[in-house]
Amino acid sequence: MRVSNLFTKTSKNAPADEVAKNAQLLSRAGFIHKEMAGVYTYLPLGKIVIDKIIQIVREEMNAVGGLEMSLTALQAKDTWEASGRWDDKVMDVWFKTKLASGSEVGLAPTHEEPLTKLMKDFIHSYKDLPAYPYQFQIKFRNELRSKSGLMRGREFWMKDLYSFSRDRNEHDAFYEKISKAYEKVYSRFGIGDITYKTFASGGSFSKYSHEFQTLSDVGEDTIYVHEGRRIAINEEVYNDEVLADLDIKKEELVEKKAVEVGNIFTLGTKFSDAFDLKYTDEDGASKPVFMGSYGIGPSRIMGLIAELFSDEKGLVWPENIAPYKVYLVQIGGELSIECADELYEELKKRNIEVLYDDRDVRPGQKFADSELMGIPYRVTVSDRMLADKVYEFVVRSDGQKNLLTHEQLLDKLS
Ligand code: ATP
Ligand code: MG
């Protein structure tokens, strides 16, 4: 991609009413555009990042047997009445609207109900189980406050996987497996070391659910971290009983602010009972399907990473979710243009993702933009350096600067 083709521009200022650092930086760098509070457009650079985040989650969900699908955003009222969650007092984040005919519909805030109902068409016998459908979808929630940029949107990307198992044993085994998959996801995002599997409130079918909480001062949640065991307890369930359950002493815990980046939940037969989702087992007996739900928030993770990995100059993307690996800067006359063009083609040929600043603007602006956008490596081609047959190579995360020959550069980037 050439910067001259990028219609978005960087800016010194974020929208005046934007208070969250992640959204300020992402707006200034041209990754997102604010439509209204909690509602953001993903611009071309931002779209690449959210897609990379989603792809990492997708690979790990596929690895545990997930089958990707895509449910509808428009929801029928009667589907949700079956579980009682159409009621605004029960589900307080609904966006509801009406069809031309007058019948009410809602914009999906989550998908337990429509999916449980749908699975009735496909689950009949023990041979149809287990099943692990999942999706990435924009969820709609009328959140009371939405001042945290991408971290709390009124529409946002969610990965939601649902497990349909024969019994609790089969469920428990999958619950452990996907918990491990979540840990892999967060380490691939570079936040594994500050993310804790956290005991949170459960439902009628298990005492606890688990949240994955990433330490951050801007977090809305308070958790109590046991560093040695790499687990934490959400303040909502923090009491003597939980401490006893987990065999933990108060003194071993440290209070921290954190952001929930995902959660896993044992639903049991709550929804299968509501929708009469049953299967016939080997002995011919009819049994309710045992369910679980597993969420991850790609939008929130993008905001959190922007917030965590940034400095006074701008964003600092981890390499595997950066929109491009290399920011190529061309400075000077004919010769450097020719040489930068060539290097650009060569990097592309080697599948190295490169954003080529071919604009006729001051070098200072090119450098500043590369830093604001947070591209991991900057390579500069200038007339002066070409005389010495070297490129300048700068690492965004630590500012380390080197002069590299053509060969050394390709070595570093491959
Ligand atoms: P929270 O307590 O933060 O509101 P939640 O319990 O409502 O989260 P879930 O309904 O389980 O969250 O959604 C699954 C995941 O989706 C969450 O772990 C989080 O990462 C993400 N998420 C939830 N609400 C939002 C939101 N408003 N904006 C962005 N991401 C969200
Ligand atoms: Mg919520």
* H, E, C per residue of 356-402: EECCCCCHHHHHHHHHHHCCCEEEEEEHHHHHCCCEEEEECCCCCEE
- The ligand whose atoms approach the alpha carbon of 156 most closely is 1
SS3 of 123, please? coil
Q: Read off the pLDDT of residues 193-230 as tens digits, 9 standing for 90 and up.
A: 999 999 999 999 999 999 999 999 999 999 999 999 99
Closest among 325, 330, 326, 327 to 386, alpha carbons compared: 330
Interval between CA 360 and ligand 1 midpoint (Å): 44
CATH code for the domain defined by 3-311? 3.30.930.10
Write down the residue that tokens 């950066």 correspond to: 322
Please state the atom number of ligand 1 nearest to the C-alpha of residue 158.
16
**Helical (H) or strand (E) element with 330:** strand 326-331
Q: What angle do CA 119, 123, 126 make, to 5 degrees?
A: 150
Do 412 and 393 form a contact (C-beta atoms < 8 A)?
yes
Do 405 and 389 form a contact (C-beta atoms < 8 A)?
yes
pLDDT at 257: 98
Nearest-CA residue for atom 13 of ligand 1: 295
pLDDT confidence tier of residue 68, bands split at 50, 70 and 90: very high
Please state the atom number of ligand 1 nearest to the C-alpha of residue 220.
3
pTM, two decimals, is: 0.97
pLDDT at 387: 81
Q: Can you tell me the mean pLDDT for 315-322?
A: 97
Going from N- to C-terminal start, the domains of the chain cover 3-311, 326-413
Q: Which two tokens stand for residue 276?
A: 């009469």
Q: How far apart are alpha carbons 305 and 317 in whole angstroms?
A: 8
Largest CA distance in the chain: 82
Q: Which two tokens stand for residue 140?
A: 């709609």
Nearest-CA residue for atom 19 of ligand 1: 297
**Helical (H) or strand (E) element with 186:** helix 168-188
Q: Read off the pLDDT of residues 220-273 as tens digits, 9 standing for 90 and up.
A: 999 999 999 999 999 999 999 999 999 999 999 999 999 999 999 999 999 999
- The ligand whose atoms approach the alpha carbon of 152 most closely is 1
Closest among 120, 206, 205, 194 to 164, alpha carbons compared: 120
SS3 of 328, please? strand
Write out the CATH class of domain 326-413.
Answer: alpha beta
Residues listed for the chain: 414
Nearest-CA residue for atom 27 of ligand 1: 152
pLDDT at 385: 86
Q: Can you tell me the mean pLDDT for 276-288?
A: 98
Domains 3-311 and 326-413 share a fold: no
Q: How far apart are alpha carbons 314 and 310 in whole angstroms?
A: 6
Q: Which two tokens stand for residue 153?
A: 């949107």
- The ligand whose atoms approach the alpha carbon of 111 most closely is 1
Mutate to test the pocket of ligand 1, among 139, 162, 223, 305 (most ligand atoms within 8 A of CB): 139
Do 303 and 20 form a contact (C-beta atoms < 8 A)?
yes
Interval between CA 294 and ligand 2 midpoint (Å): 14
pLDDT at 388: 84
Compute how many other C-beta atoms are within 10 angstroms of the C-beta atom of residue 405.
12
